[in-house]
Amino acid sequence: MNLIDNVWPFLLILLSCYLLKYACDTFEQAASYLGRKFPPGVKGATVNAIGSSMPEMCVVIACLFWFDDPSLVMVALGVTAGSAIFNGCVIPALSIIMAKDEDGKAVNSIKLTKRVLVRDVFWVLFAEIALIIFLGFNAFTLWMAVVLNVIYLGYAIHLYIDARSHQEVEDEYEYEEIEDRGKFLNLMTFNFNTLFFSNRPFTLVSALVVLVLAIAIISGSSHLLVEGVLGSASVMGVPQFFAGLIFGSAASSVPDLMLSVKDAQKGEYEDAVANPLASNTFDTTVAFALPLLAWFMINGVDQLPLVQDESLTLLRWSIVGITGAVAASLLFNYKNVTKTVAYFLLSMFVVWAGAMYVFIG
C-alpha cells in the first residue's frame, strides 16, 4: 500500500466526524423547536436521542443493504456496542466538566432528578441485558429483533406517561440561531434554516424540513464511516470488529456528544444526561434490531449466524458492567454530580479501550 491508501480510511473517518458535527448542530436547532413543550429529560430521551442515534442505525443499514454483506453485522455490532460505552462514559463526563448555569457561568457540579435518572437507567440496562443474552446464542433470530424493538416501545410508552403527567413546562422556548456565515459556508455547515427560510424562527414545516435534511446528511456520513472503518482495519491489521468498536463508535457518537455538551452549557442537565442514556437504549434496540428485522423479512430468512468467541463474550459483559458502573456513579451522587465523578467515568473508558485493544486488537 502507498501512503495515500494508508491514510485514506482515516480521512474518511475524520470527514464523517465533520459532517456529523455540523449536521448535529442543525438537527439540534430543529429538535429544540419540536421538543419545546417536553418536560425535563424527555426531549433528550426522545427527539435528541433518536436523531443522534441515526449514525448507528445507518451503519447497520449500510452493512446489510449498501454493502450487501450480512457478515459485516459484526462491524455494525462493534459500532453500536462501542458507542454504548462511549455514550455512557465520555458524554456524561464531558457534560459535567463543561456544564454551565443559566447565566453562562461554569459550575463545579450538577444536580439531576432521581426519578428521571432511574427511569433511563432501568430501560438502558433492560435493553442491554436483553441484547447480551441474545448474543450468547449461535444465531440472532427474527424474534430476537422483534423483542428488542418491543423493549423500546415500552420505553416510549413510559416517556409518554411522563410527558402526560408533566404537561406544564415553565421555561419558554427560545429560537437558537446559528450564525449566518454566508451562502457558501452555510451550505458547507448545513445551516439549512438560513439557506432556505432566511433564518426566521421555526414553524412546524420548516423545522421538519431542516430535521429531514440533517438526518439525510447523517445517513450519508454513516456510509462514509463504514468505508473508513473497513479500510482502517485493513491498514492496521486488526479485526474489522475492533475498528468498528473504537473508531466507528467514537465517530458515530459525535452527535450525542455535541447535543449533550450544548445542553449542559445551557444549564439543561437533565437532557444532557438523558440523551446518551436514551441513545444507548435506542442503539441496542431499534438502531441494531430494526434494520435486521427488515433484512430478515426482505430475504425471507429468520436467523443470522453468530460466531461465538472470546471477543464477543468480553464485549457482551463489558457493556452491562460499565453501564452498571456509570448508573451507580450517577445515582449515588445525583444531588451533587461533581467533576470527580466525571474523571472517574473518563478513566473507566480509557481502561476499557485499552483492555479491548489487548484482548481483541
Higher pLDDT: 111 or 35? It is: 111
CB 211 within 8 A of CB 31: yes
What pLDDT is recorded for position 295?
A: 92
213-223 confidence digits (pLDDT tens): 988 888 788 77
Among 54, 44, 45, smallest CA distance to 24 is for 54
CA 50 to chain CA centroid, Å, is 8
pLDDT over 90 percentage in the chain = 15
260-269 confidence digits (pLDDT tens): 888 888 888 8
In the numeric block, which cell numbers belong to residue 53?
442515534
In the numeric block, which cell numbers belong to residue 106?
461554569
Average model confidence (pLDDT) across the chain: 83
User: Does pLDDT of 111 surpass 60?
Assistant: yes
In the numeric block, which cell numbers belong to residue 240?
474489522
Mean pLDDT of 80-90: 84
Q: pLDDT-derived band of residue 361, with 50, 70 and 90 as boundaries?
A: low
Mean pLDDT of 86-108: 86
Query: Cα–Cα distance between 358 and 354 in angstroms, integer?
Result: 6
What pLDDT is recorded for position 46?
A: 65
130-168 confidence digits (pLDDT tens): 988 888 888 889 999 999 999 998 988 888 787 777 655
Query: Cα–Cα distance between 243 and 250 in angstroms, integer?
Result: 10
Higher pLDDT: 46 or 27? It is: 27
What pLDDT is recorded for position 43?
A: 62
User: Does pLDDT of 24 surpass 60?
Assistant: yes
What pLDDT is recorded for position 169?
A: 47
User: Does pLDDT of 170 surpass 60?
Assistant: no
Higher pLDDT: 173 or 194? It is: 194
What pLDDT is recorded for position 143?
A: 93
303-344 confidence digits (pLDDT tens): 888 776 676 777 778 888 888 898 899 889 888 888 999 999
**CA-CA-CA-CA torsion for 128, 134, 135, 139, nearest 10 degrees?**
-160
Going by the DSSP 8-state scheme, the letter that residue 300 receives in this structure is T
Among 319, 303, 275, 347, smallest CA distance to 78 is for 319
Cα separations in angstroms, 188 against 195, 225, 251, 353: 11, 18, 19, 33
3-state DSSP assignment of residue 172: coil
Q: pLDDT-derived band of residue 40, with 50, 70 and 90 as boundaries?
A: low
Question: pTM (2 decimals)?
Answer: 0.80
Q: Which residue's C-alpha cell is 468505508?
A: 227
In DSSP terms, which residues pair with 303 in a beta bridge?
141
Burial of 24 (C-beta count, 10 Å sphere; 0-12/13-18/19+): buried
User: Does pLDDT of 126 surpass 80?
Assistant: yes
List Cβ neighbours of 150 (8 Å cut-off, separation of 6 or more): none
